[in-house]
Structures are given as structure tokens and as C-alpha cells.
Amino acid sequence: MIRCIKCGMEYSLDEIIYTCRECGSILEVIIEPEVSKDVFEGRKETMWKYKEFMPVDESKIVTLQEGGTPLIKCDNIGKDLGVKLYVKFEGANPTGSFKDRGMSVGITKALELGVKSVGCASTGNTSASLAAYAARANLDCLVLLPQGKVALGKLAQAMFHGARVLSVKGNFDEALEAVTRLALMGEVYLLNSVNPFRLEGQKSIGFEIVDELGWRSPDRIILPVGNAGNISAIWKGISEFYQAGFIDERPMMVGIQAEGASPIVKAFKKGEMEIEVVENPETVATAIRIGAPVSYRKALRAIYESEGLAESVSDEEILEAQKLLARREGIGVEPASAASIAGLIRLLDEGEIDRGEEIVCIATGHLLKDPDTAIRACEEPVEVEADISSLLEVMGGKTSSM
């Protein structure tokens, strides 16, 4: 069933509904499969390894083999920080971000419902992923993007996979409001994370972390928060495995926002359950440039229930952490993803996180998503003639330091 997270009103899984008709709140899918974790053994490492926990018809699955992403032990940074650090590299998904998990379930659901057109508003990654999965499922795809604020790689993907791309004069929050209105008029099936089926796919990040750690939780999971779907999804996944008896403890959930777009952090610091919308959100991490996160209530619930934290970081801290991951661990992520590492560093400095903890940071999207920001952070390559003396001159006359 689908259930309202606020008033508990219940709806059928076959209804096209995004918010509660009684109270207007967002909804969640309730699923309680009775299986042993032994059923997962020997299955291919994709998110469909956990198909019993996915509320869609198995025969209709639209997949590009998403999930099964690497959980990378990061000893170089971990030792410097004094923590046991893992990075879950979601950039390894088919379109380069965690959104593919949600779209695989969301598009499968769209086929089940028999819709012909799907749509979303996006800071970039959602549109890239939706465009690809819609193409695979032969569905029309409409995406609304905030003008001038979508990283180049993401824009290229949405356009190249054949979506109808509209550049909206406004920010993400305004684009989302607009596409939601189109969805309520029946023009498109909405595949933003307000659609509870999206989170059903994304919860598999939580499944994979505890499975890979040998059926136990890390102390904390830290991730960037924008529209607040992903932190809610991961907590839901972890909680489902906890309720099923697959793990004995759950991790603390830590949400990181950019300083210029941090309504959830502000609510958390006041101990509140409601947010104040940020009217003009701004950050270099365009993926999380969001002032009115739709899933804020689910996210705050995850943070409070898990005795977790929310913190904000500056653009400088984000860009520094992005470089650190690339240069100390070889992991290339886009700026928003680096917010998780920047947040970890700040929370260690503040004494909110203890040295010695076991931490999983979610690297949500690939470096190549935003080549412009990456290139701006580096020195220009030196131009040189292709002869040895010119090369040696540029290299400072070195011949034997190898």
C-alpha cells in the first residue's frame, strides 16, 4: 500500500497519487516481505538483488543494471582524519548518479500503470537518468531545468537521450512546482522524488552498505541533501532490513547541505520538524541548489530517529573536499557529492563526530557530470612543442626523478 507519512491515510499501489488527499503531506510505500536474507545469496550485484523489497512487477523491470556500486575503503583520507572511512561511489551507476536506482523502479511502475509520458524538474541528474530510462521503456519524456544552472554533462545526457528539454526561467523549486501542476493535470507521470516509488529504488543504497559490511551497520552514513529524497530512502532501506531482522543496529544519518541552501540544517539546529523555505538558494554544488526540499519531513524524521546530525558547509569547503577525494583517493565526484566529505571534516573539527568511528560517505554523482567546475579548479595545461628539449624545459630540466 501507499501511506501518508503524516495522517496515515492509505492508498492502493495502483493509484497515481503524489500527496495525501486528506492532509497534503507526502506519501511512502509500505512493504514488508517475508523472506530470509539467504535468498539474496549468489545473485548478481545490482539493486535487483533485493527484488523482494521492490514494489513492482518483476516481469516488467526496466533496468540498465544499476546499483551494485563499489564501497571503497579510503585509508589515505581516513588515516589523516582518524576515522575508518568508506565511500559508496554512486558515480558508477549507468548514467553516473544514484538517481538510476530510483528511475529503474519509477519507470517500471510507469509501465505497470500504462502511462505514455513521464516528466520531472531537475538540477540535472534526475533529468539525465529519467531521459535514459524513458528512452529504454519507449516513453515520452519531458524535463524542466533551471536556466543556466545545470552542469554541462547532465544537460548533454538529458538532451542526447531524447528528452524534451525545457529551460525554465526560475530555480529548481519553481520548475518543480510547474511540472507538478502539469502532472496533476494528467500531462505527465511525475518522477521527482515526491513520487514514493523513486525512493523504493534508492533505498537499495542502504541495503548494499549493510550487506557488503557483513550484515551490520557502520556508525554513520553521511550524504549531501538537496530535495531530501535520498537520505529518506537510505534510512527507509536500512530500517526495512532492521525490521526484517537482517541487522541488529542502525547507523546515525547525517545530512549535509550547502550554506546557501540549507533549510533542513536550520530546522535541525532549532530542533524543529518544519522548515523555512530559502527563497534564493545559491551554491557551486548546483545539484543541491534547492530551497524548498519536498521530502524535508521524511529527512528530518530520519535524522531525529537515528540520532543523527545535519550540518552545512561552504562552497570553498565543498571544492576542497572534491579535490581531496580526487587527489588522495582517485575518486572523481561532482561538487554536491563532495559535500559529504566536507561535512565529515567539519563535524570532526566541531567534535560532533568522534575519531575512530566507522563512516560511509555517499558520493552521489560522477566528476564528469560537471566538467566546467573541475577545469576551473585546476591550472591550465602548459602548451609545449613535442620535442625533448622543450619538454625538459617545461619540466624544469628534470631527467631522473622517476
Site residues (vs ligand F0G, CB under 6 A): 97, 99, 122-126, 193, 224-230, 287-288, 334, 336-337, 364-365
The 3-state DSSP composition of the chain as helix, strand, coil percent (nearest 5) reads 45, 15, 40
Please tell me whether 125 is known to bind a ligand.
yes
Please tell me whether 195 is known to bind a ligand.
no
C-alpha cell at 12: 492502493
In a 3-state reduction of DSSP, which class is residue 173?
helix
C-alpha cell at 167: 529551460
Q: How far is the CB of 246 from ligand F0G (least distance, A)?
A: 24
- Which H or E element spans position 125? helix 125-136
Pick the closer one to ligand F0G by CB: 230 or 322: 230
Q: How far is the CB of 396 from ligand F0G (least distance, A)?
A: 38
Please tell me whether 228 is known to bind a ligand.
yes
Alpha-carbon gap, residue 270 to 62, rounded angstroms = 42
Pick the closer one to ligand F0G by CB: 63 or 337: 337
Q: How far is the CB of 12 from ligand F0G (least distance, A)?
A: 26
Please tell me whether 226 is known to bind a ligand.
yes
Q: How far is the CB of 113 from ligand F0G (least distance, A)?
A: 22
Please tell me whether 192 is known to bind a ligand.
no
Query: Residue 13 in contact with residue 1, Cβ under 8 Å?
Result: yes
Strands (E), 111-260: 117-121, 140-146, 164-168, 189-190, 220-224, 252-258
Alpha-carbon gap, residue 288 to 261, rounded angstroms = 7
Pick the closer one to ligand F0G by CB: 99 or 161: 99
Q: How far is the CB of 370 from ligand F0G (least distance, A)?
A: 9
Residue with cell 551507476: 93
Pick the closer one to ligand F0G by CB: 306 or 364: 364
C-alpha cell at 341: 566529505
Q: Which residues of 298-317 are buried (b: 16+ CB within 10 A; e: fewer)?
A: bbbbbbeebebbbbbbebeb
Q: How far is the CB of 167 from ligand F0G (least distance, A)?
A: 14
Alpha-carbon gap, residue 366 to 359, rounded angstroms = 20
Pick the closer one to ligand F0G by CB: 26 or 246: 26
Q: How far is the CB of 97 from ligand F0G (least distance, A)?
A: 5
Pick the closer one to ligand F0G by CB: 246 or 318: 318
Please tell me whether 227 is known to bind a ligand.
yes
Please tell me whether 162 is known to bind a ligand.
no
Pick the closer one to ligand F0G by CB: 246 or 286: 286
Alpha-carbon gap, residue 24 to 180, rounded angstroms = 13
Q: Which residues are annotated as a binding site?
A: 125, 226-230, 364
Q: Which residues are annotated as a binding site for pyridoxal 5'-phosphate?
A: 125, 226-230, 364
